[in-house]
Chain A
Amino acid sequence: MPKDGGIGASSKRREDVRFLTGAGNYTDDINVNGQTYAWFIRSDVAHGKINSIDTSAAQAMDGVLKVFTAADFESAGGIPCGWQVTDRHGQPMQEPKHPILAEGKVRHVGDPIACVVAETLEQARDAAEAVEIDIEELEPVLDMKAALAEDAPKVHDELTSNLCYDWGFVEENKEAVDEAIKNAAHVVTLELTNNRLVANPMEPRVAVADYSRARDEYTLYTTSQNPHVIRLLMGAFVLSIPEHKLRVVAPDVGGGFGSKIYHYAEEAFVTHASKVVNRPVKWTSTRSEAFISDAHGRDHKTKIELALDENHMFTAVRTDTYANMGAYLSTFAPSIPTWLHGTLMAGNYKTPVIYVNVKAVFTNTTPVDAYRGAGRPEATYQLERVIDKAARELGVDPAELRRKNFIKPEEFPYDTPVAVTYDTGNYHATLDKALEMTDYAGFEKRAEESKARGKLRGYGLAHFIEACGIAPSNLVGQLGARAGLYESATVRVNATGGITVMTGSHSHGQGHETSFAQVVADMIGIDEGMIEIEHGDTANTPMGMGTYGSRSIAVGGSAMVRATEKIINKAKKIAAHLMEASESDIELKDGQFSVAGTDKSVAWGDVTLAAYVPHNYPLEEIEPGLEETAFYDPSNFTYPSGAYVCEVEVDPETGKVEVLGFTAADDFGNVVNPMIVEGQVHGGVAQGIGQALMENCAYDENGQLISASYMDYTMPRADDMPMFDVDHSCQTPCTHNPLGVKGCGEAGAIGSPPAVVNAVIDALHRGGYTNVEHIDMPVTPARVWAAMNS
């Protein structure tokens, strides 16, 4: 029987009512009295020297308050990077300045050069047309390998080259890996591209700043996944505003997928400009701006080698990756191809030695940072593609090859050779589940049916692991993070028993207002409706690190559990006093405190009232009131895993791939709200199918992003997607957090691209196109057709 409330129940989302009635409060819905409007003038060339900017005509136009250029930000710092990677030789990465408005040079199409602030948006936009900018075009660097040539033009003149870092991991294993590959019975090699993507949350970014001269305080409303992080980065590093004078609010946010983690120049711009013009300043991104100014994702070029012994056991993995940083370092960019990628190269397998080399490169393109999965999809894709290729070359069943190399259920906790310890898992279970759900045994018959209709049917399998619940602060500190990655929660119990939870996690579609309430309700045994979840405002939530890396329930939820445990402990003391019993005899069940072995009890509401009306209260022992805060810093990552299967049909006449079915068997550990978890998987899988078949950032030879609108960048639409079959019944609970949860937000986007591409290659081989070893994503009809006819 499904539960009707608490942990494990598919409670309907309370936030839906406001979203379904037009009553949401997104940042663009916020209008502050007296607000002005900002319009950015952005570079339309990829690389150029700014000879002059003449703002005089624009400045004189109706409604214009001020035209800003870099000269107005001389006292400000650059946009900071939150992670410093150390290279193979022990040297810190090259870290160029990232100005708010371009200083002397423009480095990518979309780089902001100037900004008009005017009374109306139309006036700002009109005046922007009148700003005269003389740019001398320079040769752009676009290709990563070409960017590393000795004579390549430099994106940043002050750096020694376009190389951000050359990272090796685990450097001590390099020789052992080389040796293992040299001596292997089989070595399977694959070169592939992990295509550059745009996250494309449906809500474009918006920032509204309101400086109060009367109070000398700033308020910034912004489309962020982590308002505290923005407050810290912008306040401490860019504008020198102490945190108590800066409030950052991220209200309802219309999706993020990583792209709203970062501190962006536009946020610092409006905050500073609001003080200068002494009026609120609002900026709303157009979708066209979003394509060239939101941080992009992925963009790796990789060569992977998998060594196997004569029994088909993996003996080594070596991977060489070029990772595009774009023109500047976005907030967490350096960590993605390194610590979020290299540490996952063991996958679900017992490969004894692994070496990962990553060269991060500056190019004249939009900055690249985390996008749903971030580093882990790149690791999973290359590994699961090369394993499939190995199975084909060796003539063995791809499921069987994976199974025999899996870490066995009894081998956990398992130390990988890439520095992480998987606490728990059962990969055999998820694999078996996916094969069962997809009727693996019946595939040949289905393939025959397709063949009879002139179609090529393919079955693609991928297994994945990810590191979520980001992250132990002491560990990431050693790895170069310039932040802690704990989470916080304050649980405020009101006198009549209702509860307000203030969490540092941020919900932008994940449904925390519902699922977090389920956890607290379950712990106390009261109705979910008695609990309200507040988030997204630095003024009323404790210092938190926000939502990304599938961390909310695992880290934020754990903080909330710890705070609730403190509440329960104190409430038990009060209950013991009220019932004149020993605290150790007090039990809490279904919202009733009782004395063990007696019929004495007091209700939750009696205890909470006593806390705030302490007439009969142990005042000599405990304070009145019932409010507790906890910070939770995880001791390890969590490791969700799963088996994904995609079944496709390829039309040999056109090369068009149709996804017939997609199946996901995930192990997320314990699950709080199955309905929400399944929805997260659906969305992630859709993004993964989008990456595999449709989506791509295409730059031309001049550095123009030619897929920079929904006319050109192929977003998955309803008729591109199948119904999904998802399962999360294989559960090995996390061993180190109080809820036993692992996180589910990114899994879908991690496991699905290799499943799709494996299915396409399988279909082509079954159709006799055995020369096709690989097709780069997106696997468009044109690419399939070209591969078939090569």
Chain B
Amino acid sequence: MKVTMTVNGQTRTGEVEGRTLLSSFLRENLGLTGTHVGCDTSQCGACVVHVDGKDVKACTMFAAECEGAEVATIEGQSAPDGTLNKIQQAFQDYHGLQCGFCTPGMVMTAAALLRDNPTPTEAEVREYLEGNICRCTGYHNIVRAILAASGQEVPAVAAE
């Protein structure tokens, strides 16, 4: 079947099976490989994208369900000239990523958090990241990066 959706502001159309997941559609049909697949039980959060403004694990939706939807992925987060947005920049500044595999999902989840709660506490950040697994950073610098992106003071536990 044919499915049409808006992805990062562009109308995209593709041929899918009923069982094609949104994550597969983005990666295989559209070549948007920034959305990663780290598990098969919708636990890891590497595939988080935004669908109609909500953060969604792209492996939990069929592509066909997104007919007519507005989808935002990691590829559409920086400015047209490539400048990183404030969350992306904070992740670099605070070393909030190592291998980079969970990073797209972390950035998209953080964006959803800060949209709904512009100045979260550390505990709220940790709580909101419950659905995103990172194996590299111990979350320390991810939490700091998100707090920094929110314009708040960053816990100074770690030596700079």
Contact = CB atoms under 8 A, between A and B. Distances in A.
Contacts of A26: 33, 36, 101
Contact of A682 (B44, B104, B140): B140
Given A718-B126, A718-B139, A724-B138, A10 B43 contact: no
Given A203-B38, A718-B129, A24 B100 contact: yes
A509 B99 contact: yes
A727 B97 CA distance: 20
B75 to A, nearest CB: 4
A19 B97 contact: yes
A394 interface: no
B134 interface: yes
A286 B40 contact: yes
B61 to A, nearest CB: 18
A508 B129 CA distance: 23
A683 B17 contact: no
Nearest to B143: A718
Given A20-B103, A254-B101, A710 B138 contact: no
A28 interface: yes
Nearest to A255: B99
A711 B43 contact: yes
B158 A202 contact: no
Contacts of A255: 98-99, 101, 135-136
Interface in B109-141: 122-123, 125-127, 129-130, 132-141
A257 interface: yes
B35 interface: yes
Contacts of B37: 28, 204
A22 B44 contact: no
B141 A710 contact: no
Interface stretch (B50-58, B63-71, B87-95): B87-95
B41 A683 contact: no
B48 interface: no
Contacts of B46: 202
A509 B95 CA distance: 11
B36 to A, nearest CB: 7
B155 interface: yes
Given A21-B34, A254-B101, A683-B135, A724 B127 contact: no
Nearest to B32: A22
Nearest to B31: A31
Given A16-B92, A201-B101, A709-B41, A725 B133 contact: no
A643 to B, nearest CB: 15
A255 B157 CA distance: 26
Interface of A: 2, 10, 12-13, 15-24, 26, 28-29, 122, 200-204, 252-255, 257, 286-288, 508-511, 674-676, 678-679, 682-687, 709-711, 715-719, 721, 723-728, 748
Interface of B: 17, 19, 27, 32-41, 43-44, 46, 73-75, 77-78, 82, 84, 88, 91-93, 95, 97-104, 107, 122-123, 125-127, 129-130, 132-143, 155, 157-160
16 contacts: A10-B160, A12-B93, A13-B95, A22-B75, A24-B34, A26-B36, A202-B44, A202-B134, A253-B99, A255-B101, A255-B136, A678-B159, A679-B136, A715-B135, A718-B127, A721-B140
Given A18-B100, A20-B100, A26-B101, 10 more contacts: A19-B103, A22-B35, A22-B104, A23-B34, A26-B33, A201-B99, A203-B38, A204-B37, A254-B100, A717-B133
Closest CB pairs A-B (n = 4): A22-B34, A19-B100, A254-B101, A686-B138
